[in-house]
Structure 1
């Protein structure tokens, strides 16, 4: 019969589990509060003297998925007629305490690809607000974009 030191084995297992749990907790603590899935509620575009406010909860839906390194967005209308709309894009992103930068690598509107957009962001509860200037020289676009999102749980 082989000798087994059960107390030592149990102590070792508890120690290893504790270290593993601490590493998972530290990884979660390092994740930005911006990471997750967000549903766009409203978008405000200010271009020169013109302001357009869009309510994205009426007849359409847009979600944005943000990780620490990448983002993607998907938008579609809720209709079923010949005017259906589907918009998608994504790419790399960089996040710090107040700024969120997107580099749009993929977009079904190809003229928007390979552009970088910087936003300031603020999170209050489960609401995310972003504000930044979008410039796409090839399209003559230079506009202020203010968006408000709700966290998807």
Structure 2
């Protein structure tokens, strides 16, 4: 009888100790797809016909891009709440594919409607909390051909 009681106590103590050592908080997992998440655009560089323009997206304008496993969306607006000459808002989204570092957006929705229904190919690199997206945007029918380089930082939960 003492042997069985000792076995029960030992098994209970082992179970109790092993459950105490486990992390009971929800698991923080990194998505298998490194670009999934919400990204804040920090800077954008456009090179068109030899001219370079750089936009600092931390001053008077803000943009985020949200990527899940299959879709992307972007939202962009001025930081003056539309109350001065810098008032602006744009948004868009659609499906994307990622093969290695080759990222293709299929723009299905866009506040600039002439951009809808088009595919855009980019090369993406992710390093720690920074994503860099670089590619040529070419829309012959509306006269756009430019290199677009965007630098994002991952937003934390």
Same fold by TM-score greater than 0.5: yes
Cα distance between partner residues in 1 of 2:137 and 2:32 = 26
Instruction: Using structure 1 for the length normalisation, give the TM-score.
Output: 0.78
Partners in 2 of 1:141 and 1:52 — Cα distance?
Answer: 15
1 CA distance for matches of 2:149 and 2:108?
21
Count of residues paired in the alignment: 127
Q: 2:47 and 2:77 mapped to 1: Cα distance?
A: 23
Max radius of gyration: which structure?
A: 2
2:108 alignment counterpart: 105
Quote the residue 1:22 is aligned against: none
Deviation, 1:139, is 1.1
What is the match of residue 13 of structure 2?
A: none
Give the structure 1 partner of residue 120 of structure 2.
117
- Over the aligned positions, Cα root-mean-square deviation in angstroms equals 1.6
Counterpart pick for 2:141 among 138, 143, 152: 138
Displacement of 1:138 after TM fit? Answer: 2.1
Any gaps of 5 or more consecutive residues in structure 2?
A: 1-26
Match of 1:148 among 148, 151, 154: 151
Unaligned 5+ segments in structure 1 are 1-24
SS in 2 for 1:65: strand
